[in-house]
């Protein structure tokens, strides 16, 4: 197995994903807004696709955190899901996902959801496997990576605290 140092670095653009979904009746609740679980599923799919593209290996979802619903998504809206790698560890990757909803009748586009997902790459035996390093090319890449490192430190500290309690 190649070590991380032997893997060619990749930029966030090498694996980014944009998905488009149409909110249909089966996606909505009794008040005509989308089920949160539907949006979460779409987020997981977009983020997994990014992680697989970056790692070029199978991946599993390790966590979805900081999921923030900031504006409703309604029946008939067009949902735009953008996802890219924010941070890469030895075997894990944080993928940032932004969800916007467009009212196709007015053209109004509103930021609706933000999420951060952690994925782990797997080898042929289903064990964690090294992933390519991340090349930070733009100020936005650097800002997102810095914020992701803080979230990772927080996740690690929380995991250690939970271990102590158990």
Residues of the chain with pLDDT under 70: 1-5
Report pLDDT for 3. Answer: 47
Residue 29, both tokens: 């609740």
User: In Å, what is the CA distance from 22 to each residue of 10, 48, 73, 86?
Assistant: 31, 20, 10, 27
Report pLDDT for 7. Answer: 87
- Indicate which CATH number applies to the domain containing 105: 3.10.129.10
Q: Are strands 78-88 and 17-22 parallel, antiparallel or unpaired?
A: antiparallel
Report pLDDT for 6. Answer: 73
Range of the domain at 151: 4-165
User: In Å, what is the CA distance from 6 to each residue of 13, 14, 81, 92, 137?
Assistant: 20, 18, 32, 16, 20
Backbone angles phi and psi of 104, in degrees to 5: -70, -15
**Domain count of the chain?**
1
Q: What is the pLDDT of residues 125-157, one digit of tens each?
A: 999 999 999 999 999 999 999 999 999 999 899
Report pLDDT for 166. Answer: 85
Report pLDDT for 74. Answer: 97
Report pLDDT for 142. Answer: 97
């Amino acid at each position: 197995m190649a070590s991380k140092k032997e893997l060619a670095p990749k930029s966030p653009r090498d694996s980014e994903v944009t998905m488009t979904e149409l909110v249909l009746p089966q996606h909505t609740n009794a008040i005509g807004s989308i089920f949160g679980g539907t949006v979460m599923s779409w987020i997981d799919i977009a983020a997994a696709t990014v992680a697989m593209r970056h790692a070029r290996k199978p991946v599993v979802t390790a966590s979805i955190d900081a999921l923030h619903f900031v504006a409703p998504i309604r029946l008939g809206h067009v949902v735009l899901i953008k996802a890219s790698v924010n941070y890469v560890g030895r075997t894990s990757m944080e993928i940032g996902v932004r969800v916007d909803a467009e009212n196709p009748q007015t053209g109004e586009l509103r930021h609706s959801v933000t999420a951060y997902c952690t994925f782990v790459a797997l080898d042929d035996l289903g064990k964690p496997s090294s992933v390519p390093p991340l090349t930070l090319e733009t100020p936005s890449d650097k800002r997102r990576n810095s914020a992701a490192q803080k979230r990772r430190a927080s996740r690690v500290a929380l995991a250690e605290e939970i271990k102590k309690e158990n």
